[in-house]
Structure 1
Amino acid sequence: MEVKTGKTTTEQSWTVGEVALLTRLSIRTLHHYDDIGLLRPSVRTEAGYRLYTTADLARLWRVLSYRELGFPLAEIAHVLDAQPGGEVQALRTQVALLQEKQRRTQSTLDTALAYLHAAERGEGILNMTNAELKDSFDSFDPAKHEAEARQRWGDSDAYKQSAVRTSRYTRADWEEVRAELNAIYARYLALMGAGTPADSAEAKAVAADHCAHISARYYDASPEMMRGLAEMWVADDRFTHNIDRAGEGLAAYSSAAVLAWASELEE
């Protein structure tokens, strides 16, 4: 369809139904994108019909590309409407998340292959090599430092709340918890790699999600408690070493981000 968009120019445009056919999206989805401001048709006819322009379709292509990368719709709108550089930063973060997801998928595949090879040899898990067994259980260690944790915080409400919650966790639950934390680490690392200060709004947003992760999975974490954790990440070499396994300098950066976030809330 062609419509007049000015006094002397004519531009190709498409109805919502035509765009639905072109993209294989439902009309309902396109209407939803319009309602939330993610993709609004730029042209309105004299009869009141809204039409999509070439620029609108270009934006839709980007929307679908970001959706394929796993961005939530609200974040896609923020990225597309961001200031110059915002889209690059968002993509860096998403690349880091996808790389972490790829690493976890490869680790799961390697474990499955180890089990398969042991089964094909007719040996079963009990006859797997120590290296294979270690790889299988490397990401599942919920009891690590349990005795020390009980000694240091056993009388606290937070420890008791965490003990009750985690006592019900299966191995699959622990894998999910670990995946969530790795995703948070990947976001910190993406910001580090981009040279974003730890006290920036972006880093503090990750710190807020870090707090939400701990509150959802372990115990209700206040800013004051998060401050204590952040200080421990850099004061205790064991925590620093463990966190920095995900990326050199991560412990210091995440600690600084959480401290900045906590200070902002405590002001």
Structure 2
Amino acid sequence: MTSTAMDDAAEPGGLTVGAVASHVGVTVRTLHHWDAIGLVRPSGRTAGGYRLYSAADVARIHRVLIYRELGLPLDDIGELLDAPTVDVTVPLRQQRAQLLDRISRLQSMVDAVDRMIEAARAGILLSAEEQVEIFGQRWKPSLAAGARDRWGETAQWAQYAERAAGMTPEDWRQVAHNVETLEQDLAAAKRAGVRPGSAGANALAERHRASIDAYFDCSLSMHVCMGRMLAADPGFTAYYDAIEPGLAVWLRDVIDANARDRGIDPESATWT
């Protein structure tokens, strides 16, 4: 409420409901409702029966707006305004405690959003030293930034950033352990001559797809596209072939056969 509204309401006859609504920033409908429930009733009426608000009425509206902004229900506001002998600090202290709790929750949400922003920017919320310590000496911290540059505008990267934002170093250690175990099992299967399309190979393909699901939802068709990339991209091929010679191409063939057995034609698979 402005001093102008108070001054105008002090004029003979007071302010109409439309003028009050304009001055205090609420709708006429709101003032009608507050009148109907007895929260703020205009002190006067025109000869035609229209509401007229005095300076005291406008002051009461102002107090209602303050309490409403604090989140108090209208019923509680009415009790506060109509019982001046009640210690108004009691409900206000309660409301203050609730506001502080809300602020704490909102700050937690802000922190979570900040982590998502940083995860989307950096690719991983670990220092370079932590990355090497967790993922091993073969890991290059620049890989995360390179992945961001390559896929940072995709829906999958956004999903990854959301999940990565909530991961702790211990979570990443578990991921690294699972990946290392999977890679060892893939290499052992390749050396043992496990054929793509066999039950054992299909189980490994599904484990590999599940490892990607830790970062974003990976369909069978998307998995086929990733298999192609593993065998065609020099960086990925070198990574897998360092584990076991020929592993990248073998893994691609394993992924293709698994998808085919599950109704996906690898030749027409797309990133969907």
Q: TM-score, normalised by structure 2?
A: 0.44
Structure 1 length-normalised TM? 0.45
